[in-house]
Amino acid sequence: MITRRPYGTETAVTMAYLAQPDQQQKLEWLDGGQFAVLLDSAATDGQLTVGRFTVNKGEAPPYHMHTREDEVFMLLKGTALLWCDDEEMELSEGGIVYLPRNVPHGYRITSDTADLLMMCTPAGIEGMFRHAGRDLASPRPEGFEISPERLAEATDKYGQIILGPPR
């Protein structure tokens, strides 16, 4: 049996979970990108967050590290530069990266567009995206932006540490 739970409704996780694309929360993210919450804490009993970024050339989060979760991301489409500690690497389409918690990292999209799949364990990082981003299902407030202050507040609240500007 599979539980179908639209975003915003809570159910105890006692069985598998399914959400069709129109049921997944989509957030406005950095540099005009989009972050879709595919699986969150509520859907996985706190075990796993899965999200998908759809972004454009130049998108780059601040150089940062996670203190609460391990991260895996896969570049489904596009190319990027990746920094792990101070090592720079190229990531091509289909490439996958494992980033244990407390490892400084960042990336910059080098292709015109990119599609990234992110998985974090345990769950919870979706709260940071929800706090700093904006749900695309609601009207865009005039002047909305993900300011450095808004991002810093969200990262601090959810166990991320910003170490520097985007690379």
Residue 151 has pLDDT above 50, yes or no: yes
* Digit-coded pLDDT (tens) for 34-63: 999 999 999 999 999 999 999 999 999 999
- pTM for the model stands at 0.89
Residue 109 has pLDDT above 70, yes or no: yes
Residue 2 has pLDDT above 50, yes or no: no
Counting Cα atoms < 13 Å in the Cβ hemisphere of 43 gives 23
Report how many helices (DSSP H) and strands (DSSP E) the chain contains, helices first.
Answer: 3, 14
Q: Which residues pair with 10 in a beta bridge?
A: none
Task: Pull the structure tokens for residue 59.
Answer: 């998108």
Contacts of 98 (CB under 8 A, 6+ apart): 70, 71, 72
Mean pLDDT for the stretch of residues 69-89 = 96
Residue 128 is inside which H or E element, if any? helix 126-132
Q: What is the DSSP string of 66-94?
A: ESS-EEEEEEEES-EEEEETTEEEEE-TT
Q: Are strands 80-84 and 105-109 parallel, antiparallel or unpaired?
A: antiparallel
